[in-house]
Amino acid sequence: MTLSDHLRNLAALPKVRPDFGLLMTINLGIGYCTPPLGVSLYISGTIANKNLVYVSRAVMPFILIQIGILLLLTFFPSIVLLLPRLIYGTN
């Protein structure tokens, strides 16, 4: 999150993709759920009275899905821009 201000300035450059903010948000979401700094893993483990290894294994399928979606959106950016193009027209 601390890099978002610097990355926002970088995103203002002319050659940066229009879906930069979405990709950054998905990356931050994946980082929030993965060890060693996965704060949500510690919180959910404490609430469920389970250790970090148990919670990490339980969350792994969802993280793999998030990584797959991130790869899909990274390599096929037209998917991200499909709805805005349908609403506002093609640029």
Judge whether residue 86 has pLDDT over 80.
yes
Instruction: Tell me what pLDDT residue 2 has.
Output: 66
Q: How far apart are CA 24 and CA 34, in angstroms?
A: 16
What gap in Å lies between CA 7 and CA 30, rounded to an integer? 17
Distances (CA, A) of 88 to 8, 12, 14, 18, 41: 24, 21, 21, 15, 40
Range(s) of the domain holding residue 21: 4-88
Alpha carbon distance, N-terminus to C-terminus of the chain: 31
pLDDT tens string 20-71? 788 888 888 888 888 777 788 888 889 999 998 898 898 899 999 999 999 9
Give the total number of structural domains in the chain.
1
**Is 0.85 topped by the overall pTM?**
no
List the structure tokens of 34.
């993965």
Is a pLDDT exceeding 70 seen at residue 4? no
